[in-house]
Structure 1
Amino acid sequence: MHPKALLKEAAALLEQVLRFDHPADAVVARHFRDQKSLGPRERGVLADTVFRVLRQRTLLEWQAKAAKNPEGMDGSDCPMPRKLALLAFAGDDATLQAGVSEAEWAWLAKARALAQPESLPADRPELVHNLPAWLADALTEQLGAEGFTALAKALMDNAPLDLRVNLIKQKKREPVLAALADMGWEASPTPYAPLGIRLSKKRNVNRFPVFTEGGVEVQDEGSQLLCLLLDARRQHMVVDFCAGAGGKTLAIGGAMRDGGRLYAFDTSAHRLDALKPRLARSGLSNVHTMVLNNEHDQRLRKLEGKMDRVLVDAPCSGLGTLRRNPDLKWRQTPETVAAQAQLQTSILESAARLLKPGGRLVYATCSLLRTENEDVAEAFSAAHAKDFSAMPALEALRAAKVPTPEVLCTGGNAGHLYLRLWPHQHSTDGFFAAVWQKK
């Protein structure tokens, strides 16, 4: 594709994404389905350009406005999506220069110079952290100024690609690492999750035979650790209450060695449909899916008091996944977060009824915010003090033989009550989890 056409395509795609009507990855995927003539290289450049803009939107828009319009051109000749595409273009400069006019090239040099640290206004910290004010304030309150700065910097990076060894197909991690090395892929064991593997860079795992044969699944290390908190075993009856596409369902089923009975619930048939091919590849036969009308579906009554383990991986703001989904910081608001917290409480209350005495309940989110995490967990503990006792996450992680689990935990009198994962501290997505045992 000619550079001029590629830049035009990037601006058109950005214009769609920046409406924020739908998740960015869905908009990009739909655009690629519609534009079948785009090759792998063009798709890579377009996707990387879009996500660079989403990560640095505040800074890039300020640069675009501060540099004014290219000489001899008005706003209609070079609208904001095109300016952003030029500033964030993921291809090389030779391609970029071949696709712009002389005026645009001169403008780009001026706009780029504005991004130098000495050129940024001291009273505009948002140009550095690129987060909406409400979110920056909330995270600063939680982490302090130094911790917030480290987190904001980490959120600008790409997330690593982690794999989980499937115990149904592979008994140990080492043979998989050896197979990756044979392919020339650099990989290492994840520092905490005992079945995790981290690739040094993004790869097309569909080319990896062990993946196509079901020996590994793509799963962030933090997500793997959440599943370990559950301590699901071969003889148990287990519910993954908000299963989605089933990443955690597959990890739990593997821990159960395909024994017992594992229910995967969700209110979206579309999401559960995405689990089917993954189930077939995994070799699991103990998983039973059910589409719920809502968290109070009447069919749940027949399961009340019967479950050994229940995982509530609750719907949330998803702000712990900003390295993967940077559009979320522009699509979420304090109001949407508050609404999520109400839903999370309702789901947790309903799911807790399924446990038998002695059963274990795990509440988890991929949010960074206390509103969706500690506040929900503390309210549940207070409301159910007679029926449930809080279990330190540290205790569950030690039982799962997780190395140095104390660095993964926070909260409570001893600082070990909750699992709390941060991108800048643990190189995982942002996760939270609380654990209870039914008395």
Structure 2
Amino acid sequence: MCLLPNDGPIPSSRKTPLAPARRAALKLFSECRRREARARDLLRAAPAMGALDPRDRALAMRLVLGTVSAQGELDRAITSHLRARSKLEPLVRDALRVSAFEILYLDTPTQVAVSQGVELVRSVNRRAAGLGNAVLRRIAEEDAAALAEARARVEFGNVTIADLQRIGALPEWLATRALADLGPEGAVAYARCALAPACASVAANTARRSAEDCAGLLADAGCEPALGPIPGSFILGMPAALAASGLVEACDVLPCDLAAQDVVARLGIEPGMRVLEVGQGRGTKSILMACAGARLASVEVDAKKSAAAAARMSAAGVADRVMCVCDDGREPTRVDGSFDLVFVDAPCSGTGTLGRHPEIAWSLEEDAIAGLASLQLQILTSSAAFAAPGARLAYSTCSFLRQEDEDVVDAFLASPAGAGFRLAFSGRTDLPGVDTDTHFLAVLERAAEAKR
């Protein structure tokens, strides 16, 4: 938390050398903006990151991902301290955004963050350094204080939409939905986690190696693995070491959020189980289910993704257990027969994955949710027809929004297609003491006498 000194206003910053991490963060954030690229994809391939030592690399990544996630709130704060109709050069605004994020949301001493912020502005436009100094000092004095007050209010249960917006750097509509769908306590937890770094976790590919062997490989690579709360899961103390280890390319371990691993664990996979997976994506859950003994038909509508997933199944050693099918989940025509488990991993808003996908917060439009919910219901309805009598039908999203979660399941159960099903389980992932994405899972059971 950034608090003001008790002995008066922050003094004017003095010129100090600009830290390499901040210089790299500005370059990468600006590139994200110009290219409209996904921040994590850009960071993985950026030469500028490889040139930094581990500590600077971690700070640069934190600054880039945080600034992307908080961009709308940062722009509000910056604009509030500019004269009416003032215009900033794009790179000057980017420098102010990165610096404002550090002042407001990181634990950097305020005076250091302001001083480095001025140097960041100076690095792109010397003449703008004075303006940068004035704006950043005002943000440190006024906006940081307002954020501290908001955090204090919610501690006492006085939760407002405006405070949620500040704490999580959320757009108003998303803060409103969080309060309505999660309740005050859940909304505060969501806002607090919105800007937190995603937990670095992997799953062992037990089709290739035992979990114990994977732990040894991770340790040898310097990843500092700790056992996660789900069998075969590991939390990495030094995730930066994973990239150079070759373990991901070899499919010995699978980068996978703990919430996603928890969803698969809750499906109750048994050896020999016939599973229809609708929404395969990159196929991480396909591999995990195959490791548990399932035999899958995995449907993905995107031809390139389906082909890439098929290649990944071969690399992971589960190609004999996973048949990748390019088909439209709304009306599958390339899948035959019935299955013991139908798992719908639905396309969704991703509002439960802000730590992993920071672009979502300010790029997602509220109006898009209704269309997603309609698509989700179509896919769930068509997929249900493949559930054998007595089989289970699972529906999952990585969204916290009721409109995509409980409301879709309720609409399905109220429809003719859902008449033979009953709800056995419904809830969101909750792993105590671990920061994860938020996933929703509902498991329905089909009556044994049901007919397709």
Quick check: TM above 0.5?
A: yes
> Which shows bigger deviation, 79-88 or 244-253?
79-88
SS at match of 1:298: coil
> What is the match of residue 170 of structure 1?
209
Say whether 1:103 aligns with 2:130: yes
> Which shows bigger deviation, 12-21 or 134-143?
12-21
Give 1:152 shift: 0.4
Give 1:120 shift: 7.5
In 1, the alpha carbon distance for the partners of 2:80 and 2:311 equals 50
In 1, the alpha carbon distance for the partners of 2:435 and 2:147 equals 31
> What is the match of residue 242 of structure 1?
279
Which residue among 239, 242, 246 is the counterpart of 1:205?
242
In 2, the alpha carbon distance for the partners of 1:344 and 1:161 equals 29
- AA aligned to 2:94 is P
Contact persistence 2:71–2:362 (CA under 8 A): no
Report 1:137-286 matches (<5 A).
137-171=176-210, 173-191=211-229, 193-208=230-245, 211-256=248-293, 261-284=295-318, 285-286=320-321
Contact persistence 1:423–1:430 (CA under 8 A): no
**Compared with structure 1, are the counterparts of its residues 328 and 169 closer, same or farther at alpha carbon in structure 2 (3 Å cutoff)?**
same
Contact persistence 2:203–2:253 (CA under 8 A): yes
Runs of at least 5 residues in structure 2 that lack an aligned partner in the other structure: 1-16, 151-159, 448-452
> What is the match of residue 420 of structure 2?
387
Q: TM-score, normalised by structure 2?
A: 0.76
* Deviation per residue, 1:105-138 (Å, 9 max, x gap): 6333443333322587979532333111111111
Count of matched residue pairs: 398
SS at match of 1:312: strand
> What is the match of residue 75 of structure 1?
88
Say whether 1:84 aligns with 2:105: no
> What is the match of residue 357 of structure 1?
389
> What is the match of residue 154 of structure 2?
none
In 1, the alpha carbon distance for the partners of 2:91 and 2:364 equals 29
Give 1:8 shift: 8.3
Give 1:319 shift: 0.6
In 2, the alpha carbon distance for the partners of 1:361 and 1:196 equals 25
In 2, the alpha carbon distance for the partners of 1:182 and 1:204 equals 10
- AA aligned to 2:174 is L
- AA aligned to 2:282 is A
Give 1:309 shift: 1.6
> What is the match of residue 156 of structure 2?
none
- AA aligned to 1:433 is L
Identity, % of aligned positions: 24
> Which shows bigger deviation, 341-350 or 324-333?
324-333
Contact persistence 2:69–2:360 (CA under 8 A): no
Report 1:113-128 matches (<5 A).
113-118=141-146, 124-125=162-163, 126-128=165-167
Give 1:47 shift: 4.9
In 2, the alpha carbon distance for the partners of 1:353 and 1:428 equals 32
Report 1:282-293 matches (<5 A).
282-284=316-318, 285-293=320-328
In 1, the alpha carbon distance for the partners of 2:21 and 2:259 equals 37
Contact persistence 2:24–2:48 (CA under 8 A): no
In 1, the alpha carbon distance for the partners of 2:266 and 2:36 equals 36
SS at match of 2:240: coil
SS at match of 1:163: strand
**Compared with structure 1, are the counterparts of its residues 146 and 161 closer, same or farther at alpha carbon in structure 2 (3 Å cutoff)?**
same
In 1, the alpha carbon distance for the partners of 2:146 and 2:406 equals 39
In 1, the alpha carbon distance for the partners of 2:399 and 2:35 equals 20
**Compared with structure 1, are the counterparts of its residues 425 and 350 closer, same or farther at alpha carbon in structure 2 (3 Å cutoff)?**
farther
- AA aligned to 1:245 is R
Q: What value does the CA root-mean-square deviation take over the aligned residues?
A: 3.5
In 1, the alpha carbon distance for the partners of 2:445 and 2:253 equals 31
Which residue among 367, 372, 379 is the counterpart of 2:404?
372
In 2, the alpha carbon distance for the partners of 1:202 and 1:37 equals 18
* Deviation per residue, 1:389-423 (Å, 9 max, x gap): 222xxxxxxxxxxxxxxxxxxxxxxxxx3131258
In 1, the alpha carbon distance for the partners of 2:413 and 2:166 equals 40
SS at match of 1:164: strand
Give 1:368 shift: 0.6
**Compared with structure 1, are the counterparts of its residues 287 and 43 closer, same or farther at alpha carbon in structure 2 (3 Å cutoff)?**
same
- AA aligned to 1:307 is F
* Deviation per residue, 1:203-222 (Å, 9 max, x gap): 34243365454332111111
Contact persistence 1:160–1:200 (CA under 8 A): no
**Compared with structure 1, are the counterparts of its residues 78 and 104 closer, same or farther at alpha carbon in structure 2 (3 Å cutoff)?**
farther
